[in-house]
Structure 1
Amino acid sequence: MASPSEIADRPMGLRERKKLRTRATIQQEALRLFRERGYAATTVDEIAAAAEVSQSTFFRYFPAKEDVVMYDSLDPLMITAFRAQPPELTPLAALRGALVELRRTLPREELERERERHLLASTVPELRARMLTSLTGTVELLAEMVAERTGRPVDDLALRTFAGALVGISLATIESMARGSVEDYFDTYSRALELLEQGLPL
């Protein structure tokens, strides 16, 4: 997995922007087909046809069908928003500020696409297994983000415990997506961060 600096500072030339548009189109069409036909019933050929790309192009961007769902296009935006928060903020406060920024600036259709992606990842058995496997990489990414802000080494136990707690919050709140809107999920996640900030009083 790329480091926060590599993700956020990656150059965005014309070719790179075209690749991002193609990747986004494939994912958008795949999610639409999954919604209409179901994940298992949708084939790679159908996704490629809907996105108007060849099968080989599909596999150039996504090694397997499940990778279409697992690809998170918001990572670079989240990292940029996190790094832009005032340096005096704690990592938790900076994370909350970054979430507020994304919620304010991202188009609703993009937020809905993210909601749909997470719902698939949490409800389709093979995707859920893949999501759980990927959590180690998520912990690494969060640890690197917080290490950069705090100046602590990335293997610091407190830092890694914090990163693990953030992943735990994601797992604990993801079901709220099925029960409500994108706004509901953001509110639930923000409240969970507040509880963590308070020391999880029980």
Structure 2
Amino acid sequence: MTSSPSDHVGLRERKKAKTRAALREHAMRLFEEQGYAATTVEQIAEAAEVSPSTFFRYFPTKEEVVLADDVDPIAFAAFQAQPAELSPLQALRATITDVFGAMSEDVWEWERRRQVLIASVPELRAAMALRLFDLAEELAEQVAERVGRDAGDFEVRNFAGVIMGMSLGLMSSKGLPAGQPDYRVFVDRALAHLEEGLPL
């Protein structure tokens, strides 16, 4: 029996996913053991038993190992799949419930460790804050598609900006406790507060 081209593609993709996961896990372990600044790409590659050039095929920089968020594409797809009668804010809350609820404990543990590291390393925290600008653009496009408006409309951009501001508040040292395992609860609580008109 011979294997089909799709079998080879599937095997190749599984190997790539396995290598990527190994790089992230070894990187996180080294960051936690010896500090983010003291850890080099060469050390991460050696721990994962690959070359530095292989590392850069998966992550363009060391910080990207931490900042890369695999959940965003899944969340945007889930956002668009929410019932049409839901407002954008209601659709966001439903998306959080659906996507976060489907995440395994292993994924949640990785996210916990990632949040702890970002909160503890100023350069990562600053890079994540800057990344929210790009995410705001993507969210504006997603919201515009859902409501049938232009992504440049004031109300659409304002909505996206408010959501990103909320995210920034949660990731700050004075907001969500770093590494809080119930992150999903805090996000939904923040969205509910926004839906209520931000009463104080």
Match of 1:43 among 40, 43, 52: 40
Distance 1:129 1:158, change over 3 A: same
1:85, distance to aligned residue in structure 2 (A): 1.3
Match of 1:189 among 183, 187, 190: 187
Structure-2 separation of matches of 1:42 and 1:87: 47
1:16, distance to aligned residue in structure 2 (A): 4.4
Aligned to 1:92: 89
Which amino acid counterpart does residue 69 of structure 1 have in structure 2?
A: V
Aligned to 1:32: 29
Structure-2 separation of matches of 1:91 and 1:25: 37
1:161, distance to aligned residue in structure 2 (A): 0.9
Structure-1 separation of matches of 2:128 and 2:114: 11
- The Cα offsets for residues 13-56 of structure 1, whole Å up to 9 and x where unpaired, read as 63445434332321122112212221112111121122222110
Aligned to 2:4: none
Does residue 156 in structure 1 map to residue 170 in structure 2?
no
Secondary structure of 1:109's match? helix
**TM superposition score normalised by structure 2:** 0.86
- The Cα offsets for residues 44-95 of structure 1, whole Å up to 9 and x where unpaired, read as 1121122222110101221211111111111121112212211111111111
Q: Please identify runs of 4+ aligned residues in structure 1 that moved more than 6 A.
A: none
Distance 1:134 1:181, change over 3 A: closer
Question: Map of 1:37-76 to 2, 5 A cutoff?
Answer: 37-76=34-73
Match of 1:131 among 117, 128, 132: 128
Identity fraction in percent: 52
Structure-1 separation of matches of 2:28 and 2:114: 7
Structure-2 separation of matches of 1:23 and 1:141: 24
Aligned to 1:176: 176
Contact 1:27 1:68 in 2 (8 A): yes
Secondary structure of 1:182's match? coil
Contact 1:30 1:68 in 2 (8 A): yes
Which amino acid counterpart does residue 75 of structure 1 have in structure 2?
A: D
**TM superposition score normalised by structure 1:** 0.85
Structure-2 separation of matches of 1:50 and 1:162: 43
Structure-1 separation of matches of 2:97 and 2:32: 28
Structure-2 separation of matches of 1:141 and 1:59: 25
Aligned to 1:120: 117
Larger radius of gyration: 2
Question: Structure 1 regions of 5+ residues with no counterpart?
Answer: 1-12
1:125, distance to aligned residue in structure 2 (A): 1.6
1:177, distance to aligned residue in structure 2 (A): 3.9
Contact 1:115 1:177 in 2 (8 A): no
